[in-house]
Chains A and B, each alone.
Chain A
Amino acid sequence: MSLTRYHDDLVACLLRADRPAAADLLHRALDSGIDPRALLLDVIQPSMRRVGELWSRQRASLTQYFVAGRIADDVTDAIVPLLEREGAGRRRGRVVIGTIAGDYHGLGRKIVAAFLRAAGVQVHDLGMGVAPAQFVAAAHEEGADIVAVSALMVHVIPQIGELRPLLDEQDAGHVRLLVGGAPFNYHKRLYREVGADATARNAGEAVRVVQELLVETPAR
């Protein structure tokens, strides 16, 4: 079976929100001798991006995305360690992620974290209720390239605005700030107003944006 066929079948599994079928498909692919790296780069990541695009065009729902996030977890567990053992999938980039303090909605963040891990990014998830100073301390401690902040509620936005100056003070502008969540999806200019470098409408887009930011990030 070709990689294209695996890709198409995986997209179909994701859109049916059928996690067992997706897991079965990936295991069959590995058992048939497909290189794990090719599976990750040519099947899994493009499939996730495809669901992300459909989400952006309002053609996919959160349940489909949620299952895609679980499959991303499965991939992280099953495939990324294989790549690391081979040295072929060395983790690219470090992201500290969290839901800003005052907002108790964590699902979007978890899905983004799963997608990033599946894309080979090293993710340190701080969970919910993270104050700006905690983001900055964790970014410094982990040597993060990117701080990713999630928010669903509008009233927490001013807190996100506190991050940029704190990050600049701590790491002299090395750390990029990525923000995401409903307020940023509904208000296109908002990410700039809070001093972020980028926003992403969904987890698939977050992977692309993180990869772009990593290319731009100055060497530490």
Chain B
Amino acid sequence: MNAETITPYQRLVAALQGGTPDRVPVFLPITMHGAKELGLGLREYLAKGEHVAEGQLRLQQKYRHDGLFPVFYGVAEAMPFGAEAIFFDYGPPNMGAPPLRDWQSILQLRVPDPLDSPPLRETLHAIELCAARVKGTVPIVGMAVPPFSLPAMLLGLESWLELLLFGPATLRDALLRVTAEFCVRWANMQLAAGADAVVLPDAVSSGTIITHEQFMAWSLPVLCETTRRIRGPVVLAGVGRVEQIANLLPQTGALAALVTAEDDLGRCKEAFGGRLALIGNVNNVAMLGWDRNEALREARACLRSAARGGGYVLAPQWELPYAISDEALAGLIDAVERWGRYPLVDDEL
């Protein structure tokens, strides 16, 4: 493709379809840094779709990465179920007490309207505003917490694990029906508002939390069904390790998977076998201490492991902490400009 005319949208789509665009695309799951660009506190920034849309657009202009991520914060998806967000000055909101106090509450649970959550309403607004400005030129990526991970917010991780391990399967399945329906509904609303793809961050399905066998028995069926019902491209995000389940992910119907710094990029790519594009896996926490040179070095190592043959997107393993420096972020882009241009020059890489 011609590097002069290719847009971030064309670049990302080419890579997600397994191809080699002009260079390796970069995806930054960057949700908070827009506040600095607008000179706002985090709470004020995350209160309005206008702020987040403008922040995303300015960040994309600044770092030249290949996708907008107008996502507010994970807790927002538990808010229609009754959860409360607790804000901090320098990090994403945490959740207060889980809205479901015990397993029996599952029996009374109904699928809420995502628009009952003010931040989800604002998220849709932010997506619409981004789409009005850059649809078809810069990819817009939404997020929906998948059915197997949402219960960890609704019940708390400990209670969800107890239910999975020791509780009645009927309650587990009843909860998964509700969370699956909510996830599909929310994902499809974002696609309808203008998102080009939806990320499903599935920490509880990862190898960090459950075993391969548990993933096959508990999570994979509901994940496949959810992906099938989402009316657009789905990107899985491991959040925890995915290497041990990497061979199973292509059957979910997702387009790509974001893997963690604990996963081996080369082995994941091999396991995906060209049926799933690979995204990752810069260590977003270690980035806190990086300067430009360290970012260049680490991004180069990722490119060396995964860029050959295409089907690869350079990205941090998950959401970028607020304190990460501009120069570390810029270093990731500089790395793909320097070493990630196709055709790759093996000797330089």
Chain A residues near B (Cβ < 8 Å): 17, 19, 58, 61-64, 66-67, 102-107, 110, 153-156, 158, 182-183, 186-190, 193
Given contacts A64-B211, A187-B285, contact A106 B158 (CB under 8 A): yes
Task: Known A-B contacts: A58-B244, A154-B285, A155-B323. Give 17 more (CB < 8 A).
Answer: A17-B165, A17-B211, A19-B165, A19-B166, A58-B262, A62-B161, A66-B165, A103-B94, A104-B86, A107-B157, A155-B88, A155-B322, A156-B91, A182-B285, A186-B261, A187-B283, A190-B289
**When each residue 89-111 of chain B gets 1 if its CB lies under 8 Å from chain A and 0 otherwise, what string results?**
01110111000000000000000
Provide the bound-state CA to CA distance between A182 and B288, in Å. Answer: 14
Which residues from chain A contact B161 at a C-beta distance below 8 Å? 62-63, 66, 107
Given contacts A58-B241, A104-B96, A183-B285, contact A155 B158 (CB under 8 A): no
Provide the bound-state CA to CA distance between A166 and B130, in Å. Answer: 47
Cβ of A104 and Cβ of B95 under 8 Å apart? yes
Report A97 CB to chain B, min CB distance, Å: 16
CB closest chain-B residue, reference A184? B285
Provide the bound-state CA to CA distance between A110 and B209, in Å. Answer: 16
The 4 A-B residue pairs with the shortest CB-CB distance, nearest first, are A155-B91, A186-B285, A154-B321, A62-B209
Provide the bound-state CA to CA distance between A62 and B205, in Å. Answer: 11
CB closest chain-B residue, reference A158? B90
Q: Does B208 contact A (CB under 8 A)?
A: yes
Which residues from chain B contact A67 at a C-beta distance below 8 Å? 165
- 11 A-B pairs within 8 Å (CB atoms) are namely A58-B243, A58-B244, A106-B158, A107-B161, A155-B88, A155-B91, A182-B285, A186-B283, A186-B284, A187-B288, A190-B288
Report B116 CB to chain A, min CB distance, Å: 22
Which residues from chain A contact B86 at a C-beta distance below 8 Å? 104
Given contacts A104-B86, A155-B322, contact A63 B210 (CB under 8 A): yes
Given contacts A63-B164, A104-B86, contact A189 B209 (CB under 8 A): no
Chain B interface, number of residues (Cβ within 8 angstroms): 34
Cβ of B91 and Cβ of A153 under 8 Å apart? yes
Cβ of B288 and Cβ of A102 under 8 Å apart? no
Q: Tell me which of B91, B210, B244 contacts A154 (CB under 8 A).
A: B91
Main secondary structure of the interface of A (DSSP, over half): helix
Report A16 CB to chain B, min CB distance, Å: 9
Cβ of A189 and Cβ of B165 under 8 Å apart? no
> Which of A17, A62, A64, A156 has the most chain B CB within a 10 Å cutoff?
A62
Q: Which of B139-162 contact A (CB under 8 A)?
A: 157-158, 161
CB closest chain-A residue, reference B290? A187
**When each residue 217-244 of chain B gets 1 if its CB lies under 8 Å from chain A and 0 otherwise, what string results?**
0000000000000000000000001011
Q: Does B214 contact A (CB under 8 A)?
A: yes
Q: Which of B167-184 contact A (CB under 8 A)?
A: none
Provide the bound-state CA to CA distance between A67 and B289, in Å. Answer: 35
Provide the bound-state CA to CA distance between A62 and B66, in Å. Answer: 34
Provide the bound-state CA to CA distance between A182 and B284, in Å. Answer: 11
Cβ of A61 and Cβ of B214 under 8 Å apart? yes
Report B177 CB to chain A, min CB distance, Å: 22
Report A170 CB to chain B, min CB distance, Å: 26
Q: Tell me which of B94, B244, B289 contacts A189 (CB under 8 A).
A: B289
Report B52 CB to chain A, min CB distance, Å: 18
Which residues from chain B contact A156 at a C-beta distance below 8 Å? 91
Which residues from chain A contact B94 at a C-beta distance below 8 Å? 102-104, 153
Which residues from chain B contact A107 at a C-beta distance below 8 Å? 157-158, 161
Q: Does B207 contact A (CB under 8 A)?
A: yes
Q: Does B134 contact A (CB under 8 A)?
A: no
Provide the bound-state CA to CA distance between A67 and B214, in Å. Answer: 14
Q: Does B286 contact A (CB under 8 A)?
A: yes
Cβ of A62 and Cβ of B210 under 8 Å apart? yes
CB closest chain-A residue, reference B97? A104
Report A18 CB to chain B, min CB distance, Å: 9
Report B25 CB to chain A, min CB distance, Å: 24
Provide the bound-state CA to CA distance between A155 and B158, in Å. Answer: 22
Which residues from chain A contact B288 at a C-beta distance below 8 Å? 154, 187, 190
CB closest chain-A residue, reference B157? A107
Which residues from chain B contact A66 at a C-beta distance below 8 Å? 158, 161, 165
**When each residue 176-217 of chain B gets 1 if its CB lies under 8 Å from chain A and 0 otherwise, what string results?**
000000000000000000000000000000011111001000
Cβ of A63 and Cβ of B211 under 8 Å apart? yes
